[in-house]
Amino acid sequence: MTRPPDPIIPASFPCGVAVHAPQGGRAGPPAAPDAAQVGVAMADLGQLARVLIRRGQTHFMLTPLLVAVSLAVSGASPALADGVPNNVALHIIPREVLFFSAATGVWISVRLDAGERILQRGADTNVAAVITNQRAIGFSALLNVTHEIRLPDDETLETFKVEGNVATALTRRRALGFSAATGKWSDVERFQPGR
Protein backbone atom coordinates (compact mmCIF):
# COMPACT_ATOMS: atom_id res chain seq x y z
CA MET A 1 0.00 0.00 0.00
CA THR A 2 1.43 3.35 -0.99
CA ARG A 3 0.71 6.49 0.90
CA PRO A 4 -0.58 9.57 -0.90
CA PRO A 5 1.94 12.32 -1.61
CA ASP A 6 2.38 14.93 1.07
CA PRO A 7 0.74 18.27 0.38
CA ILE A 8 2.96 21.28 -0.15
CA ILE A 9 3.48 22.96 3.18
CA PRO A 10 3.39 26.77 3.07
CA ALA A 11 6.57 28.49 4.22
CA SER A 12 4.75 30.81 6.62
CA PHE A 13 1.46 31.07 8.44
CA PRO A 14 -0.60 34.12 9.45
CA CYS A 15 0.66 33.89 13.01
CA GLY A 16 4.16 34.75 11.76
CA VAL A 17 5.70 31.31 12.28
CA ALA A 18 8.15 30.25 9.62
CA VAL A 19 8.07 26.56 8.73
CA HIS A 20 10.99 24.59 7.34
CA ALA A 21 9.66 23.20 4.10
CA PRO A 22 11.97 20.39 2.96
CA GLN A 23 10.01 19.69 -0.24
CA GLY A 24 11.08 22.72 -2.20
CA GLY A 25 9.12 25.38 -0.35
CA ARG A 26 11.12 28.37 0.83
CA ALA A 27 11.87 28.94 4.48
CA GLY A 28 12.72 32.28 5.99
CA PRO A 29 11.07 35.36 7.45
CA PRO A 30 7.38 35.40 6.61
CA ALA A 31 5.94 38.02 4.33
CA ALA A 32 2.76 39.82 5.34
CA PRO A 33 -0.08 37.65 4.02
CA ASP A 34 -3.06 39.04 2.20
CA ALA A 35 -6.64 37.89 2.96
CA ALA A 36 -6.57 35.10 0.35
CA GLN A 37 -3.34 33.68 1.75
CA VAL A 38 -4.75 33.70 5.29
CA GLY A 39 -7.74 31.61 4.21
CA VAL A 40 -5.52 29.14 2.36
CA ALA A 41 -3.02 28.95 5.21
CA MET A 42 -5.76 28.31 7.78
CA ALA A 43 -7.17 25.54 5.61
CA ASP A 44 -3.68 24.07 5.28
CA LEU A 45 -3.23 23.81 9.07
CA GLY A 46 -5.28 20.62 9.11
CA GLN A 47 -3.18 19.16 6.31
CA LEU A 48 0.01 20.24 8.08
CA ALA A 49 -1.04 18.47 11.26
CA ARG A 50 -1.87 15.29 9.31
CA VAL A 51 1.49 15.38 7.54
CA LEU A 52 3.43 15.91 10.74
CA ILE A 53 1.54 13.12 12.49
CA ARG A 54 2.14 10.77 9.55
CA ARG A 55 5.86 11.60 9.60
CA GLY A 56 6.08 11.13 13.36
CA GLN A 57 7.07 14.76 13.91
CA THR A 58 4.42 15.50 16.51
CA HIS A 59 6.62 16.16 19.50
CA PHE A 60 7.31 19.79 18.58
CA MET A 61 3.99 20.71 17.00
CA LEU A 62 1.10 18.72 18.42
CA THR A 63 1.38 19.59 22.13
CA PRO A 64 1.55 23.40 21.65
CA LEU A 65 -1.24 23.13 19.09
CA LEU A 66 -3.50 21.26 21.54
CA VAL A 67 -2.72 23.72 24.34
CA ALA A 68 -3.45 26.70 22.08
CA VAL A 69 -6.73 25.21 20.88
CA SER A 70 -7.92 24.32 24.40
CA LEU A 71 -7.10 27.79 25.74
CA ALA A 72 -8.77 29.45 22.76
CA VAL A 73 -11.93 27.40 23.22
CA SER A 74 -12.26 27.52 27.00
CA GLY A 75 -10.20 30.52 28.03
CA ALA A 76 -8.05 30.60 31.13
CA SER A 77 -10.16 30.03 34.22
CA PRO A 78 -9.01 31.64 37.47
CA ALA A 79 -10.54 28.77 39.47
CA LEU A 80 -8.54 26.22 37.49
CA ALA A 81 -5.38 28.28 37.38
CA ASP A 82 -5.28 29.05 41.10
CA GLY A 83 -6.95 25.89 42.41
CA VAL A 84 -10.34 25.59 44.03
CA PRO A 85 -11.20 28.62 46.18
CA ASN A 86 -11.05 28.05 49.92
CA ASN A 87 -14.20 29.34 51.63
CA VAL A 88 -13.34 28.41 55.21
CA ALA A 89 -10.92 29.51 57.91
CA LEU A 90 -10.12 27.74 61.19
CA HIS A 91 -8.39 29.24 64.23
CA ILE A 92 -7.63 27.55 67.53
CA ILE A 93 -7.12 29.79 70.55
CA PRO A 94 -7.08 28.83 74.25
CA ARG A 95 -10.42 27.21 75.17
CA GLU A 96 -12.06 28.21 71.85
CA VAL A 97 -12.32 27.15 68.19
CA LEU A 98 -13.19 29.84 65.64
CA PHE A 99 -14.65 29.04 62.22
CA PHE A 100 -15.16 31.59 59.42
CA SER A 101 -17.33 31.20 56.32
CA ALA A 102 -16.32 33.28 53.30
CA ALA A 103 -19.69 32.45 51.72
CA THR A 104 -21.64 34.18 54.50
CA GLY A 105 -18.93 36.40 56.00
CA VAL A 106 -19.77 35.22 59.51
CA TRP A 107 -17.65 33.82 62.37
CA ILE A 108 -18.83 30.98 64.62
CA SER A 109 -17.20 30.25 67.98
CA VAL A 110 -17.24 26.91 69.83
CA ARG A 111 -16.03 26.90 73.44
CA LEU A 112 -13.88 24.03 74.60
CA ASP A 113 -14.50 22.40 77.98
CA ALA A 114 -11.93 22.47 80.76
CA GLY A 115 -9.38 19.73 80.07
CA GLU A 116 -10.48 19.28 76.44
CA ARG A 117 -7.46 18.82 74.15
CA ILE A 118 -7.23 19.23 70.37
CA LEU A 119 -6.06 15.96 68.78
CA GLN A 120 -6.46 16.83 65.08
CA ARG A 121 -7.67 19.77 63.01
CA GLY A 122 -8.03 20.62 59.34
CA ALA A 123 -9.77 22.88 56.84
CA ASP A 124 -10.25 22.69 53.07
CA THR A 125 -12.62 24.27 50.50
CA ASN A 126 -15.95 24.32 52.44
CA VAL A 127 -15.24 22.18 55.52
CA ALA A 128 -13.32 22.60 58.75
CA ALA A 129 -13.15 19.95 61.46
CA VAL A 130 -11.57 19.57 64.88
CA ILE A 131 -11.17 16.32 66.78
CA THR A 132 -10.70 16.64 70.53
CA ASN A 133 -10.38 14.03 73.25
CA GLN A 134 -14.15 14.45 73.88
CA ARG A 135 -15.84 15.20 70.54
CA ALA A 136 -15.62 15.79 66.79
CA ILE A 137 -16.67 19.28 65.69
CA GLY A 138 -17.49 19.93 62.04
CA PHE A 139 -18.16 23.25 60.30
CA SER A 140 -19.83 23.83 56.92
CA ALA A 141 -18.85 27.10 55.24
CA LEU A 142 -21.73 26.63 52.78
CA LEU A 143 -24.38 26.55 55.50
CA ASN A 144 -22.45 28.41 58.22
CA VAL A 145 -23.30 25.77 60.82
CA THR A 146 -21.40 23.57 63.23
CA HIS A 147 -22.29 20.07 64.33
CA GLU A 148 -20.61 17.88 66.88
CA ILE A 149 -20.60 14.23 67.81
CA ARG A 150 -19.37 12.87 71.15
CA LEU A 151 -16.34 10.57 71.35
CA PRO A 152 -16.23 8.29 74.40
CA ASP A 153 -12.94 7.97 76.32
CA ASP A 154 -12.34 4.43 75.04
CA GLU A 155 -12.71 5.46 71.37
CA THR A 156 -9.19 6.23 70.10
CA LEU A 157 -8.61 8.09 66.84
CA GLU A 158 -6.87 6.13 64.06
CA THR A 159 -7.01 8.46 61.03
CA PHE A 160 -8.31 11.91 60.16
CA LYS A 161 -8.64 13.72 56.82
CA VAL A 162 -10.24 16.93 55.56
CA GLU A 163 -10.56 17.20 51.80
CA GLY A 164 -12.82 19.39 49.66
CA ASN A 165 -16.32 19.24 51.12
CA VAL A 166 -15.77 16.28 53.45
CA ALA A 167 -14.05 15.55 56.75
CA THR A 168 -13.53 11.94 57.80
CA ALA A 169 -12.22 10.25 60.91
CA LEU A 170 -11.77 6.61 61.82
CA THR A 171 -11.76 5.48 65.41
CA ARG A 172 -11.35 1.96 66.71
CA ARG A 173 -15.15 1.60 66.84
CA ARG A 174 -16.62 3.94 64.20
CA ALA A 175 -16.19 5.65 60.86
CA LEU A 176 -17.22 9.32 61.01
CA GLY A 177 -17.95 11.62 58.09
CA PHE A 178 -18.88 15.30 57.98
CA SER A 179 -20.45 16.81 54.84
CA ALA A 180 -20.45 20.50 53.90
CA ALA A 181 -23.69 19.91 51.97
CA THR A 182 -25.65 18.64 55.00
CA GLY A 183 -23.69 20.32 57.79
CA LYS A 184 -23.89 17.10 59.84
CA TRP A 185 -21.72 14.25 61.02
CA SER A 186 -22.70 10.74 60.06
CA ASP A 187 -21.27 7.67 61.77
CA VAL A 188 -21.35 3.93 61.35
CA GLU A 189 -20.04 1.12 63.56
CA ARG A 190 -16.98 -0.58 62.15
CA PHE A 191 -16.68 -4.34 61.88
CA GLN A 192 -14.60 -5.73 64.70
CA PRO A 193 -13.53 -9.38 64.55
CA GLY A 194 -14.20 -11.32 67.73
CA ARG A 195 -16.91 -9.02 68.93
For the chain, domain boundaries: 1-75, 88-189
The whole-number average pLDDT for the span 25-43 is 49
Residue 135 has pLDDT above 90, yes or no: yes
pLDDT-derived band at 85, boundaries 50, 70, 90: confident
Is-above-0.75 flag for pTM? no
**pLDDT, mean over the chain:** 75
What integer pLDDT is reported at residue 38 of this predicted model? Answer: 45
With 0-12 / 13-18 / 19 or more C-beta atoms within 10 angstroms meaning exposed / middle / buried, residue 174 is middle
The whole-number average pLDDT for the span 48-52 is 52
The whole-number average pLDDT for the span 66-74 is 40
What integer pLDDT is reported at residue 53 of this predicted model? Answer: 53
Among candidate residues 170, 152, 151, 150, the one with its CA nearest the CA of residue 160? 170
Return the amino acid letter for 55: R
DSSP tag of 18: B
Residue 61 has pLDDT above 60, yes or no: no
> Percentage of residues in the chain with pLDDT exceeding 90?
52
What integer pLDDT is reported at residue 65 of this predicted model? Answer: 44
Q: Name the residue with higher pLDDT: 42 or 183.
A: 183
Residue 158 has pLDDT above 90, yes or no: yes
Distances in Å between the Cα of 18 and the Cα atoms of 11, 39, 56, 68 are: 6, 17, 20, 17
